[in-house]
Amino acid sequence: MTQFDYDLFVIGGGSGGVRAARIAASDHGAKVAMAEEYRMGGTCVIRGCVPKKLMVFAAGHGAAMDEGAAYGWQVEKGRFDWQAFRHRLDAELNRLESIYTRNAEGAGVTIYHQRATIADPHTVRLADGRRVTAKHILIATGGTPFIPAPYDTLGAWTSNDIFLMDRLPGSMLVLGGGFIACEMAGVLQGLGVQVTQMYRGKQILRGFDQDVQEHVAAAQVALGIHLEVNTDLVSLERLPDGRFRAACTQGRVREFDTVLFATGRRPNTDGLGLEAAGVAVNDGGAVVVDAYSQTNIPSIFAVGDVTDRIQLTPVAIREGHAFADTVFGGTPVAVDHETVASAVFTRPEAGTVGLTEAEARAQGPVEIYMASFRPMQAAFINAETKALFKLVVCAQTRRVLGCHIVAPGAGELIQIAAVAVKMGATKEDFDRTVAVHPTMSEELVLLRKPVR
């Protein structure tokens, strides 16, 4: 019988990899090792969800001060101190990184703080030259942002750089229309940066419900963001003073202090040794796996963004846990990737779960219930902030197929609504629920007549 150094070797110390390692070791008694080349915690904790959300909070306080003044408070609003915030942010990320490390080691996981690549189906090669064998290898290296050629040598930023900047730029061009582009545009504008957001598609947040897209786009413009859709970059050059000159397909030529490319992320598989090990990847570089996260090589598995199934941290965590239970717990668990809720932390936020109107109509007849209004808090001070609540209902079964919210706190609201949608609640179930008044979310149970 072949003897291995470990039962499991995990490559990548992010949310999915750490969960898999901890459960395999603590719950199922496996001998586990892990390698992380940068910082424990991965994209979400170190350069994604967590620092992003803290920046969203920071940006929101500026608007809150303006709101407070409108409500009668005497407010003296100064400039945002990025250095003070950055100091606290670094300290918080250090704290979270230490927790991730401590929790993994506490579960009995051996951590190698260096890069690891796959040498063969049962062997991992460490950066220091050591070779380690394992009965099972789990790839959990996540995704990585990129700058497309020919602009990748000019010193433009990706989302990774936002959290490391020494000072706030005066102006920024944000390229892209997805989660990251929209969130960063709103955050930076809220911190005092003059932001232009450029997207080549016809509307931002591709793949979201059309009403959500249009509502968020209008909100971005209302914030003061110069949103330009159906517009692409033609040329970009770095000027002697370090600024950028950008020309676009609309014929405009402008200068910006810096440029952020938020045009997508790709699976972090370059140089990982997958080809030598025979692991199949798709055209985008994502590791191809089955319902149990197993690759075409029986001993090698993959979870999280590196598989490009759903690029969300809670999905990676669920996949990592399911992997550990399947392989080491003797209980096969296939993760349900249907009806996964998500939130975009724009200002206001957008939350969505289930089918868009277009997706639902492609399956059969639907009824659409929707309301757009100014919440009480905004209406009182004549602020232009508007909320959107939308239900997509199957006309035959009456099931709520989709719920879409754009409102302050939509990320919190959609989590609760997701339970009902996942359970298969009908429109009549919503109708029978007594409203909580006065709240914005009561609109979900007061939408009586379809708008179409």
pLDDT greater than 70 at residue 182: yes
pLDDT of residue 337: 97
d(CA 302, CA 269): 11
Percent of the chain residues past pLDDT 90, beyond the cut: 96
Annotated catalytic residue within 87, 113, 404, 437: 437
d(CA 429, CA 322): 32
What is the CATH topology of the domain spanning 342-445? Enolase-like; domain 1 (3.30.390)
Contact indicator for 181, 174 with CB cutoff of 8 Å: yes
pLDDT of residue 1: 63
pLDDT greater than 90 at residue 273: yes
Q: Where in the chain is the domain with CATH 3.30.390.30?
A: 342-445
Residue 434 binned pLDDT confidence (cut-offs 50, 70, 90): very high
pLDDT of residue 264: 87
Q: Where in the chain is the domain with CATH 3.50.50.60?
A: 6-145+266-328, 159-263
Mean residue pLDDT across the chain:
96
* Token pair belonging to 118: 């796959």
pLDDT of residue 302: 98
| 437 given a catalytic annotation | yes
Q: Which residues contact 409 (CB under 8 A, 6 or more apart)?
A: 349, 440
pLDDT digits (tens, 9 = 90+) for 213-225: 999 999 999 999 9
**Lowest mean pLDDT: which of 77-81, 155-159, 187-191?**
77-81
Q: How far apart are the first and last CA of the chain?
A: 66
* Token pair belonging to 360: 């639902």
* Token pair belonging to 189: 């504008």
Sign of the four-CA dihedral 253, 256, 262, 268:
positive
Record the pTM.
Answer: 0.94
Q: Which CATH class is domain 159-263?
A: alpha beta
Count of C-beta atoms within a 10 Å radius of residue 234: 13
Tell me yes or no: is domain 6-145+266-328 CATH 3.50.50.60.
yes
pLDDT digits (tens, 9 = 90+) for 279-336: 999 999 999 999 999 999 999 999 999 999 999 999 999 999 999 999 999 999 999 9
DSSP 368-422: EEEEEE--HHHHTTT----EEEEEEEETTT-BEEEEEEEETTHHHHHHHHHHHHH
d(CA 209, CA 360): 10
d(CA 222, CA 208): 20
